[in-house]
Amino acid sequence: MKTVFKWLNHVVSTILIVLLVTVAGLVMMTKMQGGAPEVAGYQLKTVLSGSMEPEIQTGSVIAVKTLRDQEKNNLKVGDVITFLETNDKRITHRIIDVKQSADGALYITKGDNNNGQDRDPVLAANVIASYEGFTIPYIGYIASFAQSPNGALAFLILPGILMVGYSFITITLVIRRLDMKKENEQAEVK
């Protein structure tokens, strides 16, 4: 029983430490880059609409590859790109046509599930990333909830409660073990 408890204790402690270091690293990268966290040239984005279904489901998290300036003018029909529509709104749609202008490439885009093309062409300068086909379904719902005020509370308070509960159980077991050891020593003395 003791070895199982020790093993479980090490596993839970390792998981908590890895999560803490991972979250701290992502927060630091976000602050240093002044935007979305990026790992190995990829950003994770949450899909909030069904415009790209069935390939990309609503509520999915997708990995998009950040593009350098010279790559932004070399995209072709069929590529799926993430672009900046307004200051805060990012859209991931498929390129259906490419036109050239004095400012560089203009991409005509359309969501796979939409009836018509997007209203405005996308300047190459507004392209942020390209979708490489990596999707994790339904995780985006959790990510969106975590960004809400209720979600932030849940994801801050719940781990705190779990850590306090885990500490309480660990301390209780150690005290119980010490009491049993003390009782055994007293019984041996008598």
Bigger pLDDT: 146 vs 37: 146
* φ, ψ of residue 110 in degrees (nearest 5): -160, 140
pLDDT for position 93: 93
Mean pLDDT over 51-72 rounds to 85
* Residues noted as catalytic: 49
pLDDT for position 126: 87
Taking 80 as the threshold, does the pLDDT of residue 116 lie above it? Answer: yes
* φ, ψ of residue 163 in degrees (nearest 5): -65, -40
- Residue 62 to residue 56: CA distance in whole angstroms: 8
Q: Would you kindly state where each structural domain of the chain is located, as residue ranges?
A: 1-36, 38-138, 148-190
Mean pLDDT over 44-73 rounds to 84
Mean pLDDT over 22-42 rounds to 64
Tokens for 76, please give them. 């072709």
Taking 60 as the threshold, does the pLDDT of residue 33 lie above it? Answer: no
pLDDT for position 34: 56
Burial of 187 (0-12, 13-18, 19+ CB in 10 A): exposed
pLDDT for position 28: 65
pLDDT for position 7: 83
The matching CATH number, chosen from 3.20.130.10, 2.60.40.1180, 3.40.50.720, 2.10.109.10, for 38-138 is: 2.10.109.10
Mean pLDDT over 164-183 rounds to 86
Mean pLDDT over 27-51 rounds to 70
Taking 80 as the threshold, does the pLDDT of residue 137 lie above it? Answer: yes
